[in-house]
Amino acid sequence: MDEEQPLEMETFDQKNESLPEESLRKIVRWRPVQNVGGSMPRARHGHRAVSVKDLIIIFGGGNEGMIDELHVFNPQKREWYVPQIRGQSPSPAAAFGATALGTKIYTFGGMIEYGKYTSEVYELQATRWEWRRMPTKTTGSDLAPAARLGHSFVASQKTQKAYMFGGLTNELNDNKRNLPRYMNDLYTLDLSAAPNAVIWEKPETFGEPPSVRESHTAVIYETDTVNRMIIYGGMNGVRLGDLWYLDLDTMHWTEIKLDDPRCGISPEPRSLHTSVLIDDKMFVYGGWVPLMSSGPGNEQEREWKCTSSVACWDITKNQWIPLQHYCSDPETMPRGRAGHCAAAMGDRMFIWSGRDGYRKAWSNQVCCRDMWELETKKPEQPGKIALARAGFNLLEVSWPPVQGATAYFLQTGFVDTKDGPASEKRVPPSPRKQPSAAAVPQKEDDKNAPAAPSLISTQGTTYTAPAPPNTTANEGELPQDLFDDTEKNERTSASPRPSGDAQAGLSTKKPDEGAGQSDEGTEKEEETSSHENEDDDLAWFDIGVIKDPAVNVTHYFHARQAPLEDQIRELIDKNGFKCVNDPCFTADDKVPLINGHTYRFRVCAVNGLGKGAWSETQSFKTCTPGYPSAPSSIRITKSPDGAQLTWEPPANTHVSGKILEYSVYLAVKNQSANPADSQLAFMRVYCGPLAECNVHQPSLQSAYVDHTNKPAIIFRIAAKNEKGYGPATQVRWLQDQQKMMPVRSAYPNMNPGYVYQNQAPQQKRIRYDHH
């Protein structure tokens, strides 16, 4: 097959570190998805891919026969799964329509045999992996759409409808005789009544519609003010390269006049391509493009070939955006193909399989069996860094995962220049810019000073932010509760080797000793303050370019080591990582953390296009000897009158001495009169010697529900010895969104703190601290 160099794609010189800001060219990078786990699907074409949450679901297609297998790909874990399917599955089909609305996938039409098409609608509930054939109705005198293939089928979150346009039907519907007819009819499928029934309607449209076609693509672009479907390409005997808008509010068709120079340079006309929406841009890849006859005056399409070109339509600017390859090596780009599938996941487009090397004059076709991802921008800024666990020479930090990140670049530094020896400081300061708001260490009152009554009396606090569910499955099996995990606990562990998933997204505090409970029974969290540009002149030290969003920090690289920032590109190109924890580094290469010192941290996400913005700077302090460590193995279960909490005593009681008491705090809604006060308030719901407690329903009613990731109620638990309170462990108790209805209180006129203050003492349990 002839090699093709598409006009709309140029090469980006890697030696050029950055392009001029005035350049309108968008840099994209193809990367092969390799070293994946699980059972990879068979190669095919005419299949479909749909994104549901953080999964890509692939179904159907054919290659020497129809394929009825359903496979699931997890881009974050780089794994294929084959879920256990329930219900009535649709007949194996190719060139059908598939779209998602929430966690439900709908399919319509397709070819089930040569010349025989279907008009059935099926629903797949992805939380249970259950298929069901949907009963359909029509409105008025409208007829249901004819059986077809090659149509577009996309859903709108706003209208709760799917929009089906065009396609190819067999007038005879006979697999022995085929009388094809191209169509340009538009139908809507009302999905709001599902699962009872779905309703077909043929709406009235205005303006001239697109011409008849099949094997085109459609995407829906929705904002607060725009609700639009975009139709591109296809074929009706010749390849098409026109582009149309349908306003879903007015149902008015508009053709974009691509011969207008303001619309940019159009890609080649094509069919059997894919289009996905990323932000306000439609990315078009692959398909069949025509080869014109070389005869003079003869422009009729004689044959075609597969293309590997990518095009980008900017919906807000109404123009084709020139793209540039990050790398020109042919091995770093996928082969040309058609009939493949594509799905958007965040800022990335994934393609899989399809047929390659087919021309009208040839009788053979070859199906690819590879997956590629197209990175379209650098990663987003990571969320707040949090501390999972603090030790004398250890800070276990983590942060929320960034979608599309290949790695994370983590750095640390001292809060004050006098905190570290001069030999460990980078001079001059690191040229790497810091975030505009740099965190300042939390204030720590003197041990003998009177403590403010509004502060939690603990030495430090460990608490969780949202963590990805730690779902595991054997090859060929997908957990049936992949999405329905809302009643599980996200908790931390103070054990020496906590799991990465359980510890993802944690943070710490250093409250003062001896603080009491306020009259209202609430405790306020002392937030880390930030001062702009305060530590711009302080040095940063590298910890590593790491794979996971969590790491145990015991050392950092010595200042004499080569900066990792200069090595990021090479590491990413080779899918490599480099961390100070790697066994190849000796004591001469790294510097250990010191107990009782405060360290700053910042992190940025990295992908094939480079590193994104630095996170907000956070400061954490290593432990001071003598205090108890944090309670561990926290378990929360529902009880008839609220929630029951149990935990294990601190692991260092043999050193810190007997535990005198525990305190349990519940995050509550802040009742501050100042609307600008965003501090998180905590109410003590238990104080006593037992490693368990019950939190009653009236207290839970006043709880603050954290919606950072999944709705969760937050608890903190800390232990106290003769010296004072040690670090607290914070746990997020996931809540079922559908069950989070207000519960009528058994004490409607009482302050929630009253229940704790007046509850009967808990029965003593034979489970005391080991010391």
Of all residues in the chain, the percent with pLDDT exceeding 90 is 55
Decide the pairing of beta strands 161-170 and 407-414: unpaired
Supply 142's token pair: 């409208």
Q: What is the pLDDT of residue 498?
A: 31
Max CA-CA distance within the chain?
98
Q: How far is CA 495 from CA 295, 422, 665, in A?
A: 77, 35, 21
Q: Give pLDDT tens digits for 375-399.
A: 999 999 999 898 877 778 889 899 9
- Pick the closest to residue 391 from 661, 653, 594, 632 (CA basis): 594
Alpha-helix runs per DSSP H in 369-503: 500-503
CB–CB of 471/422 below 8 Å? no
Alpha-carbon span 647 to 728, nearest angstrom: 12
What average pLDDT does range 110-124 have in this prediction?
93
Q: How far is CA 279 from CA 313, 346, 600, 661, in A?
A: 11, 9, 34, 52
pTM for the full model?
Answer: 0.74
**What domains, with CATH codes, occur in the chain?**
23-292+303-375 (2.120.10.80), 386-417+537-621 (2.60.40.10), 635-734 (2.60.40.10)
What average pLDDT does range 426-440 have in this prediction?
37
Q: Give pLDDT tens digits for 638-653.
A: 988 899 999 999 887 8
- Pick the closest to residue 619 from 601, 597, 603, 595 (CA basis): 601
Q: What confidence tier does 300 reach under pLDDT thresholds 50, 70, 90?
A: low
- Residue 653 host element (H or E): helix 653-656
Q: Give pLDDT tens digits for 681-697.
A: 889 999 999 999 999 99
Q: Which amino acid is at 640?
A: P
The distance from CA 28 to its chain's CA centroid, rounded to whole angstroms, is: 20
DSSP 181: E
Of all residues in the chain, the percent with pLDDT exceeding 70 is 72
DSSP 566: G
Residue 655 three-state SS: helix
- Pick the closest to residue 392 from 581, 633, 627 (CA basis): 627
Q: What is the pLDDT of residue 672?
A: 56
The distance from CA 19 to its chain's CA centroid, rounded to whole angstroms, is: 28
Supply 728's token pair: 């607290």
Supply 51's token pair: 């994104």
DSSP secondary structure letters along 673-728: S-TT--PPEEEEEEEESSSEEEEEHHHHHTB-EE-SSS-EEEEEEEEEETTEE-PE
Q: Give pLDDT tens digits for 262-283.
A: 999 999 999 999 999 999 999 9
Q: Is the pLDDT of residue 701 over 80?
A: yes
3-state helix, strand, coil in the chain (%, to 5): 5, 40, 55
Q: Which residue would you say has higher pLDDT here, 614 or 488?
A: 614
Q: Is the pLDDT of residue 659 over 80?
A: yes
